[in-house]
Amino acid sequence: MVNWNSPSSNLTSKCRQAFKQMNNDPLKQRISHYQQRIEKALDQWLPSPLTHPTRLHEAMRYAVLNGGKRIRPILTYATGEALNIPLENLDGIASAVEIIHSYSLVHDDLPAMDDDDLRRGVATCHTAFDEATAILAGDALQALSFYVITHDQKLAVDHSVRLQIIEKLALACGSRGMAGGQAIDLSSVGQTLNVMQLEDMHIHKTGALIRASISLAALAAPNPDANELVSLDHFGKCIGLAFQIHDDILDEISDTETLGKTHGTDRAKNKPTYPSIVGLQVSKQRTQDLYQEAIESLQSLGSRNTEYLHYIAELIVKRNH
């Protein structure tokens, strides 16, 4: 662990000051709390690496616990705070959406798909282990996410609501959601898409699970208000699309070290992206427009505490990786 105050640290004084400010910022402290909470929950739900079959369980833990921004579980917790849901009631949902996300990255990185060697600054799962183990780890992670929802004793909802949560999660990661979006992505390589077609791909591939991370939390609220559910769902749709457009932008302007994955892969593989279709400036403006639309959708929640959702939305469109 880095000693941030050590004279021998190679961090500049500016970096140390930024870290100090982050610790003193209540909003950032809350996000850090969410991140620490989800790391603990994930560690508890994932099988022990000592449990047979050990190599598969090692690969599963490697895929999930090797870093990441944890945007989806953070959104789950922030939605819960807006709706006065105790965070312990949401640990299972937050874990399930992050486990699904991690499984999708394992499969996306496979040679048959995006064929990437770097993810979150470390070797991809199939590189660190082997291709067959990575496929099985992804399969097992997807199954584990539904096990978590069905067995989470702290999810204080009746059976009918638990079934709704399972249904929404299944749709978000299946052929009408994330997997369908990946299929569109693969079939679009070398093709010319218009903006509507590209947004359809993004809404499915990336947006569906981000959207679900919010709507699943909202379902866990006692007596959820129908209008609030609609507003939160629209917030999720807008910020999910903004997230992927910003990813397209970062693939153009950032670097491998900052991204934690290989820079410029979309262009190298002739994939359609927002910047390749409409240019960087229009892409940046579209991201800002979606951010504003997302924030406006929260206004109908009135006196609800949407401060953390506002802050996360801003992080999504301003992040550098």
Average pLDDT, the chain: 89
**Cα 150 to Cα 76, 146, 215, 321, distances in angstroms:** 17, 6, 17, 33
**pLDDT over 90, % of the chain:** 74
Is 118's pLDDT higher than 60?
A: yes
Is 231's pLDDT higher than 80?
A: yes
pLDDT tier, 26 (very low <50, low <70, confident <90, very high otherwise)? confident
Cis ω before 7 (30° cut-off from 0): no
User: 137 is written with which tokens?
Assistant: 């780890």
More confident residue, 242 or 320: 242
pLDDT attached to residue 4: 28
What φ, ψ does residue 68 adopt, rounded to 5°? Answer: 115, 160
One-letter amino acid at 237 equals K
User: Between β-strands 118-119 and 122-123, what pairing exists: parallel, antiparallel or unpaired?
Assistant: antiparallel
Among left, alpha and beta (phi > 0; psi -120 to 50; other), residue 314 is alpha
The string of pLDDT tens digits covering residues 92-106 is 999 999 999 999 999
Determine the 3-state secondary structure of 275 from DSSP.
helix
Architecture per CATH, 26-318: Orthogonal Bundle (1.10)
More confident residue, 157 or 258: 157
pLDDT attached to residue 87: 97
Query: Could you tell me which of 145, 244, 259 has the C-alpha nearest to residue 203?
Result: 244
Largest CA distance in the chain: 58
Query: Could you tell me which of 201, 196, 208, 172 has the C-alpha nearest to residue 184?
Result: 201
pLDDT tier, 12 (very low <50, low <70, confident <90, very high otherwise)? very low
Q: How far apart are CA 109 and CA 99, in angstroms?
A: 16
The string of pLDDT tens digits covering residues 56-74 is 999 999 999 988 899 999 9
pLDDT attached to residue 113: 93
